[in-house]
Structure 1
Amino acid sequence: MKARTQKIDTNKTRALLCSYIEDLSLNFLEKRARDKCYKENVLEELQDVIEVLIDREKDLKSTAEMALSILDNNEKLKLKNSKVKSKLIHALDKTHHQSIEIQTLQESLISSETRYEETSKALAETEEIMLLNSAELNRIHQEHNSQSKTTSNDEDFDLIKKEYQLELESLQKKNSHLLKDYKTINELFDNNNKELNQLKIDYSKLESRYAKLQENYKESEKSRDFQSEKIEKLDNDVKTLSSKCERLQSLSDRLEEDLSVLRIIDTDMSSKQGMSHAISLQSELESLADDYDDSACKSVINKGNESIEDMLFIKNPNNQLLTPKTSAFSWPNTSRDINIQSEAGITIFPNKIIRKPPPEEYFLLTVQAVKMNSPYADKGLNLNTQELYYNAVEEGIPFHKWHVWIESQLNQNYVQGLYKKSSKSIWKRFGKKMCF
């Protein structure tokens, strides 16, 4: 049924492409002249031509998308065919080994049958000999009875008779043992066949289980390597953040000491001078903080992967540390809650609202810009921007190539969405052209 539907789809696609080739083989003006589609008004004619060209462009776009989907299906079928061939070769090897085992068992059965025939022939010969001996014994007995009836001859006759009877009993026992051996051999052969079939089933199960275990082992190795790399990265982040927290603590202590010195000086000076001095110091600190905010924002936009140290401190041309981002009056004297989000899981709590990292914000803005400029903006593209950002980071795509990569992902998502739609919705649009 599936092959039949595929054949119908290919026939429809072939017919559609043939209709497009016939339409495109004629000149556009000649075709309009042949169909007598000219309008009397120039504007109406121009509008009609534009609509026809737009429809043609849509048709060509849809055929190109269908051709790409057909190529993808052909590649998948090639991979599936190669897998089936490998499985078939493996099955042929197994059947060859099994046929060799069956041949060896048949040979052993033939040898046991020949042995049984030989023993049965020997038994028949011994029975014939026993019959001949019994006949000879009867003849001798009759002769002895006719010649003389002495007690000594009777005793000899009885002894000879007992010997022949013992030999006959031994031969019968041998015959019964041989029959039992033959039955046991047959039973063993049947049991061996059953065990062989069970072993074949167990071997196939073990092979499938071994393949699954290999896949699981590879996946566990990949996850272990990824986890080890993540742990090393987290350790490095912990070390860098702890050192930077210590530096922030020392800077806050220094600022507190400066504040205490300024307060002592203010008590010695007059109230007006002290107030003006304190106000000037506070305005100077706030201006430094504002200058730092502007410079930090510019550096974040230009460098999307700056470290936390560059975001928290301003450096002069001689690479000397000048001032922290916050003013001295914003640091409380009691417990300090510091919260800067990092991959290591260590957080520092500032009073301001936590924002996303600058690279991620830049990536989200780039995604929005590409979506707005995309020809598929009205098609309802559904993409997880955060997952898309993580994929770009894992693939190591530089930030100046993000827009090209995002555009390729949007096109791929649109084509996959078209391919997943039911075939009925595609053929409804071009049903009239395929009915010729």
Structure 2
Amino acid sequence: MNNIILILFLCVSCSFANAQTIMTLEKAIAIALEQNYDIAISENNNEITTNNAIPGNAGLLPTLDATGSIDYGLDNTRLQFNESPEVVETTGAESWNYNASMNFGYVIFSGLGNLNSYKQLKVFADQSDAAHLIVIENIVLQVASAYYNLLRTESNIEILEQSLQISKRRYNAARNRKELSGGSGLDVLNASVNFNQDSITLMEAIVAFEEAAIELNRLLGRDLRTEITAQEVARVNIDYNFDALKQEMLDQNKTILSSKLQEQVSLLGFKIAKSTYYPTIKLSSSYSYNKSETEGSFLRLNERNGLGVNLSLSVPIYNGGSRIAAVKNARLQFENSSLQEEHTELLIESELLKTLNDYNVTRQIIAKEKSNSLVAEENFNYSEEKFKLGQISNTELREAQVNLLLSKNNLNNQQYNLRLIELELLRLSGKLVKSE
């Protein structure tokens, strides 16, 4: 299998670092390529298919066999010849037989069936390469998704911790107001409920983070309890052009490539089926050696050796119509593979167009979410000041807090969703994983 090149130019690691071990996205993918079980199994299967793509498996090379044997016998014999009254008896007569031969065989012509079979084996190997790259693409996407999910859940924890601190301030303020100036006990209860609910939400977010780490470790094929410190990745905004992406898709998409290779396999299968109409010419040769030694026999030693050559011609005349059916079916299979290849191109193109639309819309949503997050933060700060002055209720401050939390969470989720969409665009255009 050729070396693998990962194209992840959208994932640019930030420059900061600390003494703690950092797991970058690039490092996570590198570990997965080395240790992921699905990739290892796919690589072995790919190597099996490559090993099978040799001329000998297609009948293009001659065969050469050697055989040998030795027989031993211990016999009692009693012989009487014609016109002789004398009987010859032998007890414990030994006999030895030696046989050795070397056989050569070669198919000179078989309607080019063996040549097309070899070509088909090589296409199978290319198809296996494409299938292996598809497995790698899927694992890369799964690892990236798990990695971004880890970062997303970590960011959610930070947002919820900030919100929990706000709830704690609200609770303390409501309690102090009640104790010092006769504030409403209902405000204290509401603030306590909100604080407890935010605590529960934070605990759930921590569980989600831990589950994300477990999933990433599983994809990396290592101990599920290994601690992971993910590093935030910067991204570059790119205006994708559909026509350029489509051309790259047609040239590099692994699923389309596999479909085109299947069309070649079917075409070669059709040629192999047609080759059965042609005669077959075979050449064979053998060299043999035989030696017999027998005690108590009128022929004590018999030894011979010799070379034989045979040239045979086999002409197919009639076999009940099975060849005709095989050729018809092979032609239909080729037509089906051609139709499937066209359908695959259309399907991948539709996925590309929809993903590009998602990308553009998500970018617009992120821009609005950023603006909305700034407004929500300004609104909360303003509401908190008015709450301190007693101009708004605890419930109104809670509403401003929830709006701030939702806006930050929405922005966080959309930003990581955009990164996954970018990786999907790379996969569809065939640029996510390449082979040298």
Same fold at TM > 0.5: no
TM-score, length basis structure 1 = 0.24
Which structure is higher in strand share?
A: 2
Structure number with bigger Rg: 1
TM-score, length basis structure 2 = 0.24
